[in-house]
Amino acid sequence: MAIVTPNLKPEPDSRLWTAALMDAWMTGETIACRFPQPGFKVGAPGAGVVDGAGQSGMTLNLRGLTPGYAFRRRQFFSVVHAGRRYLQYVRAQIVVGADGRAALPIGPMLRIAPADGDVCEFIPMIEGKLSGDAAGWTMIPARVQGLSFTISEIA
């Protein structure tokens, strides 16, 4: 995901952003950022977790959801596995059953085998390696021009 921040105030915004980006750039650590869904209201999907180990492919079974909640086509969410987030989206609308379970048709295909009970975040985050011009920025009087960088997921 390519990200461009708005113009930042020199203090504290640009100081904090540039330091965080430079740290991630120099150390090669992963960074996480909220994945925007402009205009979309998530509602109350519940506290969904992966329902059963050994899942693969393009369907993900979840439990702990709000009965009757309607997942919408192209609604994004994150699966947290082994401390790392993986961004997914729902391929078709589906309504959660009365038991709080759902078999979500997802994309892209699962890149990991989630464990039973892995948490799902419905305010999605993308996590990965940083690339782009993270170590450079332009000072403009009274502000710092928006920063641009890319986050790429890794398996």
* Structure confidence by residue, pLDDT tens digits, 86-135: 999 999 999 999 999 999 999 999 999 999 999 999 999 999 888 765 44
Bridge partners (DSSP) of residue 50 are: 62
* 71 or 150, which is more confident: 71
Flag whether 40 is in a domain: no
The stretch 52-77 carries a mean pLDDT of: 97
The whole domain housing 67 covers 46-123
Please tell me whether residues 95 and 117 are part of one structural domain.
Answer: yes
pLDDT of residue 133: 55
Please tell me whether residues 27 and 83 are part of one structural domain.
Answer: no
Please tell me whether residues 118 and 103 are part of one structural domain.
Answer: yes
Handedness of CA 146, 126, 87, 37 (dihedral sign): negative
Please tell me whether residues 78 and 30 are part of one structural domain.
Answer: no
pLDDT of residue 139: 53
* Structure confidence by residue, pLDDT tens digits, 74-83: 999 999 999 9
How many CB atoms are closer than 10 A to CB 76? 19
Domain total of the chain? 2
pLDDT bin (cut points 50, 70, 90) of residue 138 is low
The stretch 127-150 carries a mean pLDDT of: 66
What does the alpha-carbon distance between residue 64 and residue 71 come to, in Å, rounded to a whole number?
14
CA angle 113, 118, 120 (to 5 degrees): 110
The stretch 1-29 carries a mean pLDDT of: 81
Instruction: Identify the CATH number of the domain in which residue 78 sits.
Output: 2.40.30
